[in-house]
Each structure stands twice: as C-alpha cells, then as structure tokens.
Structure 1
Amino acid sequence: MYKISEFAEMTGLSKETLRYYAEVKLLEPAFIDPNNNYRYYDDGSYFLAILLGKLRRFGFTVQEMTSVMEDESFAHLEDLLKQKKKKIHIQMEDLQLQVEEIDEFLASGKDESL
C-alpha cells in the first residue's frame, strides 16, 4: 500500500488530482484509514492511474474518462481515441488556416505601407 504522496510521485498525478478523482469516483483509494483519513493506494490502482494520466494528456474530459472506466472494454477506448485523434487533426487544420490568414494580413499591411 502506498500513501497518497508516494502514489502521486509514482504516477505523476498530483495529490489534488488524486483527491479529485476519488471525489468523482474515477480512482478511489484502496483503503482509507478511519483513524486519520489517510488514503492508501495499491498496485491495482497504479495501472488505472497511469491510464487516467494518459487520457488527461490526450485531452479527455472527466466525463470521457468516466465513460472509459465504466465501459472497461478496449474497443470502446479505441473508438474514443480515434475520435479524439480526428478532432485534434481538425484543430490542427484550423490552426494552420489561422496562421495562413495572419501571414496574409501581415503581408497586406506591408504592401499598403509602401
């Protein structure tokens, strides 16, 4: 069993994030000591914490992470990851268009000042 501070260091999730995930029932401690309310996590929690960290880095919302945790099927996770990837590609295209528009705007301003 690992105290929350040890588990946070192991997983890269902050203590605050772990507390929040417990509050929203994403990742609950394996044991809470009734005497001092210390939270303890076990090895089984480690994989779930790593998965949640990855999903968060991929831009998943808490609702999407909850959906993954409740469904527990790889097919569902794979579908969500493909959807997220498609959304990121669309955002990249939109950002590239914005960059091009800025370049055009800057270029038109230079032409007028001559």
Structure 2
Amino acid sequence: MYKISEFEEMTGLSKETLRYYAEVKLLEPAIIDPENHDRYYDDGSYFLALLLVKLRRFGFTIQEMIDVMADESFAHLEELLQQKKNKIQKQMEDLRLQVEEIDEFLASGMEEDDA
C-alpha cells in the first residue's frame, strides 16, 4: 500500500488531482483509513493511474476517461484511441492548411509592396 504522497511521486499525479479523480469516481483509493482519513493506493491503482496519465497526454477529457474506466475490460480502448488519433491528424491537417493560407496571404502582401 502506498500513502497518497508516495503515490503522487510514483505517478506524477498531484494530490489535488488524485482527490479530484476519487471525487468523480475515476480512481479511488484502495483504502481510506476511517480514523485519520489517510488514503492508500495499491498496485492495481498504480496501473490505472499510469493509464490515466497516458489518456490525459493523449487529450482525453475527464468524461472520456470515465467512460474508458467504466468499461473494465477496456474492450473499446483501442477504438477510442484510434478515434482520438484520427481527430488529432485532422487537426494537424487543418493547422497545416491554415499555415499555407497565412503564407499565401503574406506573400500576396509582399507582392503589393514590391509594386
């Protein structure tokens, strides 16, 4: 078992984030001491915390993360990751086109300056 401060160091999730994740039922402590309310996490919690860290880095919203965690078999995780990847690729293409438009606009302005 790991105290919340140890778990914070192990996972990179702040105490505030861990408390919030527990509040929204995303990642609850394995045990909460009834006397002093200390939170303890176990190895299973560690695996789930690492998954949550990855999902956040991949741009998942809290609700999307809750949906993933609700499906304990993670059967749809691959599909969700593929959807997220496709969305990011679309955003990258949109940004590339915006950069091209800016370049064209700047080039047209320079041509007018030269005239």
Query: Aligning the two structures, in what range does the TM-score lie when normalised by the shorter sequence?
Result: over 0.9
**What does residue 17 of structure 1 align with?**
17
Cα distance per residue 1:28-78 (max 9 Å; x no partner): 001112222211111110000000110010011111111111112343001
Q: SS at 2:18's partner residue?
A: helix
Unaligned ranges ≥5, structure 2: none
Structure 1: runs of 5 or more not aligned:
none
Deviation (angstroms), 1:24: 0.2
Cα distance in 1 between the residues matched to 2:74 and 2:39:
29
After TM superposition, the structure 1 stretch with the greater mean CA deviation from structure 2, 48-57 or 12-21, is 12-21
Specify the alignment match of 2:7 in structure 1.
7
Q: What is the alpha-carbon root mean square deviation over aligned residues?
A: 1.0
1:18 and 1:74 map into 2 onto residues whose CA distance is: 21
Cα separation, 2, equivalents of 1:95 and 1:19: 36
Q: Secondary structure at the match of 1:40?
A: strand
Map 1:1-114; keep pairs closer than 5 Å. 1-114=1-114
CA distance in 1, matches of 2:17, 2:71: 22
Q: How many residues align?
A: 114
